[in-house]
Chain A
Amino acid sequence: MRKYTPKDNVQAKSYYTDRFWVAPRVPSEAIEEGSHFDRVVMAVADKVTIEEAFVQIGQLRIVVKAKDNFETLQVLRDTCGYKMCSELSAVDYLAKDGEFEVFYQMLNLDEAKRVRVVCRIKEGEAIESIVPLFKMANFAEREMFDMFGIKVNNHPYLKRILMPDDWEGHPLLKTYPVEGDEFASWYEVDKIFGKEYRDIVGPENRDPARVDRYDSQRFSRVGYEVPFGAEIDKENEKENPIKYSETFLVDYNTGSKVLEKRK
């Protein structure tokens, strides 16, 4: 039977995992009573419901409901002294639970403490913009929208930022392959030559490691050389002293001279 490849996550996967291997976990510590983080959790819990809060690698992680994201950050900024939001983005968990995890990385400049506010939204749900609190979210939320397609309510100018405006698809989704999808392979061809030239030009090669041995314009041929741009007759190809390796270096199924000699 052919190997099943999941379509909801097309990123690189480990080709071998020991079946008895259990991944260790980064220890999450409970919040010490009376510590700075304890006060932060108390202040936030006054306003919104906290689903989970623990300290991991020196930073507090608070999980709140997605609708409370603005209020949580407001409490953090105004009462806990978290004057800076250093980063905001999302993690794609669509394949696993059909959700995005949005995180806000907060920084308290006076006490040098960091808090990560995390909330989860379903696919297709929007999240409230935090631009009125932190202007850095202007660019960061645009990037999140560009990369994941997460809509942000009340953002002043929600538009693609890194990808072109007429791009289709959101590149950081797990369903998006690293070398780009079909749209990506035609994008520049259509832009430069026009759609009518698709048949002549062909799709863009977006895999930088791909070698086409019959393409004499972009690749040189080792051993038996041909002029630039020469057509290579695939059927009556001249015998080449050097074996081309397309998938493996030595083909153990066909007889190899070197192997014969060794035997």
Chain B
Amino acid sequence: MQVKNKLTPFFENLNFERDDNTMVINFGPQHPSAHGQLRLVLELDGELVVKAYPDIGYLHRGIEKMAENMTYNEFLPTTDRLDYIASTSNNYAYALSVERLIGLEVPRRAQVIRTMLLELNRIISHLFFVATHALDVGAMSVFLYAFREREYAMDLMEDYCGARLTHSAVRIGGVPLDLPEGWLGDLAAFAAKMPEEIQTYEDLLTENRIWKMRLEDVGVISAEEAMSWGCTGPMLRGSGVKYDIRKEEPYELYEELDFDIPVSDRCDSYGRYLLYMEEMRQSARILQQLIPMYGKTEPQLMAHAPQYISAPKEEIMTQNYALMQHFVLVTQGMRPPVGEVYAPTESPKGELGFYIKSEGEPYAYRLKCRAPSFFHTGLLQEILVGTYIADVVTIIGSTNIVFGEVDR
């Protein structure tokens, strides 16, 4: 037992033997495969995990508290910092719940651009998953290939909104910018190239003997368990439950688009890995369908709702009343109607939804961010028990948790 005082510091990773011959070790919070700030207290019997206790909160920034002290538009850039791998998904989920609260109809061009950005973000996030998951398990080269493609996707994001990670590319009521010139061509080239690149990763991993040995029958979650633990997204579909919010509760243009929802009933990490690969293919397919849709839209980008959304700049500069409304919206903020809303969206990690309770004030009375990774972290305390310590890293990687979202 360690006695902590100023002369003998406390060693966090020191193990201490106990009478029952189990050993307690700290995994993280600074561990390269902890995907951020996960501290996992593991009780080991030899190499077998007897008890796992995920300890979170190392990245807690009080985003829900900040939401209560910011106007609705002020808060939007903060949502970037939730799941920082796919910021647009967060921006969009937040914008969608405010739009549903107000009852806004978003112009079609904005819808097309939003859907494009969402799917691009899905690819970025999934590539990040494949790269880091493979790196954790020990396959270095996939990381390099996947990050190369991710750079191209990030370049597209950068060309559109100027940022690579914290995009804030979606606004309440639409999008702030139209697509830059030549962007659609780049996107088409990217979407056309993507399936080949996915094939490259699949060639490296799918039939790889080591990869299969490390992933097959590791981190098995039954469908019942997945539903009970609140698993969503690939974690749920990897257990054989076909539920994708894009299909079941469609938002934006997903109703018109033609895409498949991959499901795997293998219930293990390998099944989930295959799902991620297939989802990227489907995202590329969606992107290809969206490109011709863009040309058929009117140029309006933001919804027309002067009470809530500022008029376009041209109107503000020429019309007095639009300027006055803009001034009120900037200085005081919009006041959505009294009520509550929960708008679920399918983020790359799972079901991301914002519960907003509005009391008719410019500040949300309560905002709860339903983050998929939070519940996937909770699941770790059950699925890690009975596995070997070498598989712990595989299982954490396959849950695809991001700590900006877990701790909020």
A residues contacting B by CB (< 8 A) are 11-16, 23-26, 28, 56-57, 59, 61, 83-87, 89, 91-92, 103, 105, 107, 109, 112, 114, 116, 134-136, 138-140, 143, 147, 160-164, 171-172, 176, 178
Contacts and interface: CB of A to CB of B under 8 A. Distances in A.
B137 interface: no
Nearest to A23: B360
Contact of B56 (A107, A147, A161, A176): A161
A23 B365 CA distance: 14
A24 B102 CA distance: 10
B405 to A, nearest CB: 12
Nearest to B374: A139
Contact of A23 (B68, B344, B359): B359
B363 A13 contact: yes
Given A11-B363, A86-B370, A26 B337 contact: yes
B137 to A, nearest CB: 26
Nearest first, the 7 A-B pairs at minimum CB distance are A23-B360, A26-B339, A136-B230, A139-B378, A112-B248, A162-B57, A24-B337
B337 A12 contact: no
B313 interface: no
Given A24-B338, A56-B339, A136-B378, A163 B57 contact: yes
B43 interface: no
Given A14-B362, A23-B338, A134 B65 contact: no
A147 B57 CA distance: 12
Contact of A84 (B65, B227, B337, B381): B227
B229 to A, nearest CB: 5
Nearest to A110: B243
A25 B332 CA distance: 19
A47 B360 CA distance: 35
A164 B228 contact: no
A105 B225 CA distance: 18
B338 A26 contact: yes
Contacts of B341: 26, 56-57
Contact of B382 (A11, A61, A135, A178): A135
Interface string B365-408: 11010100011011001100000000000000000000000011
B355 interface: yes
20 contacts: A13-B363, A14-B361, A14-B362, A23-B335, A23-B337, A26-B341, A57-B101, A57-B339, A86-B230, A87-B355, A114-B342, A134-B228, A135-B229, A138-B378, A138-B381, A143-B374, A162-B407, A162-B408, A164-B57, A171-B65
Contacts of A107: 344
B241 interface: yes
B249 interface: yes
Given A109-B241, A114-B342, A134-B230, A91 B366 contact: yes
B247 to A, nearest CB: 9
A37 B406 CA distance: 32
Contact of B249 (A87, A112, A164): A112
Contacts of B241: 109
Contacts of B230: 84-86, 134-136, 140
Contacts of B342: 59, 87, 105, 114, 116
Nearest to A105: B342
Contact of B69 (A12, A23, A116, A134): A12
A161 B406 CA distance: 11
A12 to B, nearest CB: 4
A162 B332 contact: no
A105 B100 CA distance: 17
A210 to B, nearest CB: 16
Given A12-B363, A23-B359, 5 more contacts: A14-B362, A26-B101, A86-B353, A162-B407, A162-B408
B351 interface: yes
A76 to B, nearest CB: 13
A86 B236 CA distance: 12
Nearest to A10: B69
B13 to A, nearest CB: 19
A176 B374 CA distance: 24
Contacts of A138: 378, 381
B100 A87 contact: no
B228 A24 contact: no
A76 B22 CA distance: 42
Nearest to A59: B342
Interface in B242-282: 243, 248-249
B357 interface: yes
B23 interface: no
Interface in B44-82: 56-57, 60, 62, 64-66, 68-70
B68 A12 contact: yes
B65 to A, nearest CB: 6
A96 to B, nearest CB: 9
A225 B342 CA distance: 53
Given A162-B407, A163-B60, A164-B57, A136 B229 contact: yes
Given A25-B339, A87-B370, A135-B228, A16 B332 contact: yes
B228 A136 contact: yes
B159 interface: no
Contact of A56 (B60, B340, B374): B340
A180 to B, nearest CB: 9
Nearest to B250: A112
Nearest to A147: B64
A91 B67 CA distance: 13
A178 B101 contact: no
A116 B339 CA distance: 13
